[in-house]
A and B are shown apart, each in its own frame.
Chain A
Amino acid sequence: MQVAGRKVAVVGMGGAFPACKDLNEFDHKLFTNQSLVRQWDLAVQYEKQIRSTVSGYITEAEMGLEAVWAPITEKYPETYIDTLGRIPDANLSTADMGSIWAMLGAQEATKMAGWSKAEIESEQTGVVVGSGGAGNQILRVAWHYFFQMGKKARIAGAHTVDRSMSYREAANISCLLKTKGVCESITSACATGLGNIGHAYRLIKFGLQDRAIAGGVEGTALETFIGFDGMMILSKGFSPAESSRPFDMHRNGFVCSFGAGIVALEEYEMAKARGANIIGVINEYFNNSDGDGDMFYPSFAGQQRLWKGLLPDKGLRPDVVKMHGTSTPVGDSVELLSVVDALGDEGYHMAAPKSQFGHMLGGAGSVELITALLMLKNQQVLPCLNSETLNPELEGFQKNANWHGPDKPLAAYRHLVPQKAFAKEINRVACLNYGFGGTNSAMLVSRDI
C-alpha cells in the first residue's frame, strides 16, 4: 500500500545513447532535431540474409570499451577492457555489453544524485534494472560450440550464466556499487525500461526502500536484431534519418536500436532535506494488460484503462505525452487515438523520441523517460521527426461497427504532433510504453514546483 505523503524524486540519470558520447550530447542532438539512426555496417555485411540495415546502434569504441576476443572461440568477446578506467576488470568479466552500459549509467546517475558511499551501500538502496532480451550475443557462441561443434561446455568459459541471465544488469550494478537493498529485474518486453522504474517507484512510495537505481537496457547485438528482422516488422526503404517515422502515413516498421537509461530515485523529503537537485517528481505509475488474448495487436480498450489508472480524477493533466510511437502501422494509430480519447484534442502535444533514435526495446522506456525529464528541464517539446503526412482517411479499424473511439482521421490531430522541437511551458509529461503480450505501462512525471 502507498504510504501517505511519501513522494518519489528523480535525482540522477545516465546511460548509453546512440551516436552520442554522453548525456549532454544526447540532450543537444535531440533538441536540435537530429536523428541518431545510422546505417549499420554489421548488418550490411550479411547482405541478403537480412532485410533491414538501419539502427540506433552503439559500438564498443563509442563507449570507451575494447573487446578481448577469446583465443579459443572465434568472434567471442571473452571480456572487455574499459579504456577509460571506470569499471574494474573483475566486474567487466561478469558483464555483457548491456551490463557494462548499465554499470556506467548507474555510476553517472549516482554521481549526479550526489549520494554518499554510505547511502549507496545502504540496505535502503535498491537496484531495479532489466533488459528485454537475454544475453543473446553470449549465448549464441556458447550454444554453437556445444551443439554444432560438439565441444565441452567449459569451452565458452565460466561466465556464460552471469553474462546472460535475465537480471544480469541489476546483478552487475549491485556487485559494482555494493548496494544492500532489493536487487531484481522486471521484464515486460518493450515496456521493460519503464516497468523497472515503475517498480522502483513503488518500492520507495510503499516505504520499502529510500533510494533506488532503476532503468532498462538493450545492449547492441545483431543476435537480437535478427529476431525482429525475421518478423519483417523493421523499417525498410528509407534513408537512415528518415527510417523512424511514427504516425506518418508511409511508415512501415520500427528501427531496432540499442541503449541504456538509468535513473536514481529517492524519497522526495530526504532528497529535499539534503539539498539535492530534483530533476523530476514521479506523480503516478500505472500498468496493466490488454486481456484480449492477442500477443501483438494493440488494444484500444487496454489503453483506455491505462489512462484511467494513470489519471484517477486527480486533476493532473500532462502538457506533453511522450508517446511509445514505434513507427509500426497499427500500433501508432491506435495509440494516437487512445491519447485523444483520454485527453481530448487540445491543451497538450505528443512527442515521439523514437523518431530520433529508433526503438531501444528493453531500454526504450527508461531512455524515453530521460527524454521526458530533459523536456521538463529544457521546457521544450521533442518532435516527431518524419511525421510528414498523417492519414487523411479513417483507419480501417475506425470503420468497424464496434469502434467507439475518436471518429476523425489521424490528420485531424496534426496540431498535436510537432515535426520540430519547440518551447512551451511544461509542468507534467506522461510517458507511455507497451510490449508484446499486451502489457501497457504509463508514468506521470512533473517539474518540482
Chain B
Amino acid sequence: MERQEILDGLLEVLKTIRTIDPARLVGVTEETDFLTDLSTPSTELINIAAKVEHKFDIEFDDDDIDHMGSKVKDIIDLIIMVKARSENE
C-alpha cells in the first residue's frame, strides 16, 4: 500500500472527526502535526486511532498508540509497520 493511498484514507477518517476544522484539512502533508497544526484535542487521537484500525483493517498494540507521534507521517509509518507485522504473523 503506497503512502499516498494511506494518506488519502487517513484524510477520509479525519473528515469524520468533527472537532477538526475541515478547512484545516486542505493541504495536509505528512509533516502536518495533529496537535499544533490541526488543533486536534489530544483525546481525539484515540478516536482517530480506533477509526484508522477499522478503515485499514488492522489492530494496533497498546504500545503502538502509547508511542505514536503527533504528525501525519507518524501514523502512516505506524500503519505500514502494523500491516507488515500482521502479514508476517
Contact = CB atoms under 8 A, between A and B. Distances in A.
B29 interface: no
Interface string A143-171: 00000000010110111000000000000
A152 to B, nearest CB: 8
A272 to B, nearest CB: 42
B43 A158 contact: yes
Nearest to B41: A90
A70 B53 CA distance: 13
B46 A158 contact: yes
B49 to A, nearest CB: 7
A155 B50 contact: yes
Chain B interface mostly helix, strand, loop or mixed? helix
B47 interface: yes
B43 A89 contact: no
A93 B43 CA distance: 10
B16 interface: yes
A72 interface: yes
Contacts of B59: 152
A79 interface: yes
Contacts, number: 37
Interface in B11-68: 16, 18-19, 41, 43-47, 49-51, 54, 59, 62, 65
A159 B45 CA distance: 11
A81 interface: yes
A68 interface: yes
A81 to B, nearest CB: 7
Interface residues of B, number: 16
B47 A81 contact: no
A183 B29 CA distance: 41
B18 A157 contact: no
Given A71-B54, A90-B41, A93-B41, A157 B16 contact: no
Nearest to B65: A154
Contact of A157 (B41, B46, B62): B46
B18 A68 contact: yes
B19 A90 contact: yes
A157 B54 contact: no
A152 B44 CA distance: 16
A92 interface: yes
Nearest to A90: B19
Contact of B18 (A89, A152, A158): A89
Contacts of A157: 46-47, 50
B18 A154 contact: no
Given A71-B54, A158-B44, A159-B43, A93 B49 contact: no
Contacts of B50: 72, 154-155, 157
A89 B49 contact: no
B54 A72 contact: yes
Contacts of B45: 158
Contacts of B18: 68, 79, 81, 89, 92-93
Nearest to B18: A89
Contacts of A158: 43-47
Nearest to B62: A152
Nearest to A72: B54
A93 B51 contact: no
Contacts of A68: 16, 18
Contacts of B43: 158-159
Contacts of A78: 47
Nearest to A71: B54
Given A154-B50, A157-B46, 4 more contacts: A72-B51, A72-B54, A93-B18, A93-B19
Interface of A: 68, 71-72, 78-79, 81, 89-90, 92-93, 152, 154-155, 157-159
Q: Which 3 A-B pairs have the closest CB atoms?
A: A158-B46, A158-B43, A89-B18
16 contacts: A68-B18, A71-B54, A72-B51, A72-B54, A79-B18, A81-B18, A93-B19, A93-B44, A152-B59, A154-B49, A154-B50, A155-B50, A157-B50, A158-B43, A158-B45, A159-B47
